[in-house]
């Protein structure tokens, strides 16, 4: 099919969130990939241009990470302007960005996620028992592992909470799952091959492991039996759809030492950098980066996300 079917495409990148730097990297990669496919794509940074200027474009590829780009805000603006866009709609984006609401919804429909409490004030820390350590302390509405701390001693808890609370007044303290970490990329509402993440020199797959370090190990095939991988992929698809997410995204999960899965979060605008996981999973199926970008863009041809 001709690239002309897409018209003029705005690649939304940058923005004002804590993930601006990564969004710029993702957006530039997507821009180059679309242009390689002959698509008339232009970089558009909402932090530097008025949204009204988007009326000059036929559709948008959303490569904005974090607040303002991944939380339903830009999706609502695009809906208002009548511009088709990639990825999840307003509801799916907003729910997935909010880890607290994600976990509440998953719990309601029987999707396994680590036990947690919300800590909105220092006095709520009294409800966290030291015996529950290790714990993960994280802001409810940040991505790229920004603000997450592993707490192994009760004395560390308040400092971890304060660090997270600087980013979001809603903080989650959840049980730390000891086991193996995996991710499932979703494109065209289909699960791609699972990837196992190994971080030999850090506690967990944090910001540095994701975007900076060169010693993070990515295993695809992931090493699980085929039947197990299929079951976990279906669970991830179910968790994705339960939030109203659609189009493309990524689901992160742990498998504990007893082989039990625990869903962590959904990313509705995953990274598209040289270190990113969705392009890696696509490559395992023989899908190159440029083709992947076009496939994701093609989801906007229906007129936008649901």
Query: Among all residues, which ones are annotated catalytic?
Result: 19, 144, 211, 250, 252, 265, 267, 271
d(CA 272, CA 291): 13
d(CA 43, CA 97): 24
Do the beta carbons of residue 17 and residue 67 sit within 8 Å? yes
Q: What phi, psi does 40 have (nearest 5°)?
A: -80, 85
d(CA 243, CA 230): 21
Q: Nearest 5 degrees, angle CA 173-CA 242-CA 227?
A: 90
d(CA 62, CA 78): 10
Do the beta carbons of residue 295 and residue 61 sit within 8 Å? no
Do the beta carbons of residue 260 and residue 113 sit within 8 Å? no
d(CA 94, CA 101): 9
Q: Nearest 5 degrees, angle CA 26-CA 216-CA 143?
A: 45
């Amino acid at each position: 099919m001709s690239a002309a079917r897409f018209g003029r495409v705005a690649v939304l990148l940058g923005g004002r969130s804590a993930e601006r730097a990564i969004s710029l990297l993702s957006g530039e990669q997507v821009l180059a990939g679309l242009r390689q496919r002959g698509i008339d794509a232009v970089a558009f940074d909402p932090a530097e241009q008025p949204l009204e200027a988007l009326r000059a474009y036929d559709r948008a590829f959303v490569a904005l990470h974090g607040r303002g780009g991944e939380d339903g805000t830009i999706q609502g603006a695009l809906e208002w302007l009548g511009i088709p866009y990639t990825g999840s709609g307003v509801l799916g984006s907003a729910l997935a960005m909010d880890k607290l609401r994600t976990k509440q919804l998953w719990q309601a429909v029987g999707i396994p996620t680590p036990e947690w409490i919300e800590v909105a004030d220092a006095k709520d820390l009294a409800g966290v028992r030291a015996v529950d350590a290790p714990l993960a302390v994280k802001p409810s509405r940040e991505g790229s592992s920004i603000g997450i701390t592993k707490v192994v001693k009760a004395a560390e808890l308040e400092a971890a909470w304060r660090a997270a609370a600087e980013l979001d007044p809603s903080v989650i303290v959840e049980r730390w799952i000891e086991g193996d970490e995996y991710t499932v990329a979703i494109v065209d509402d289909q699960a791609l091959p699972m990837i196992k993440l190994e971080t030999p020199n850090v506690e967990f797959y944090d910001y540095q492991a994701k975007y900076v370090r060169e010693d993070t190990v990515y295993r695809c095939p992931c090493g699980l039996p085929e039947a197990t991988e299929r079951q976990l992929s279906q669970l991830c698809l179910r968790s994705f759809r339960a939030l109203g997410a659609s189009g493309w995204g990524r689901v992160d999960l742990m498998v504990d030492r007893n082989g039990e899965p625990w869903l962590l979060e959904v990313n509705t605008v995953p990274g598209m950098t040289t270190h990113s996981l969705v392009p890696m999973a696509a490559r395992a199926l023989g899908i190159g980066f440029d083709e992947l970008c076009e496939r994701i863009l093609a989801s906007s041809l229906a007129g936008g996300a649901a």
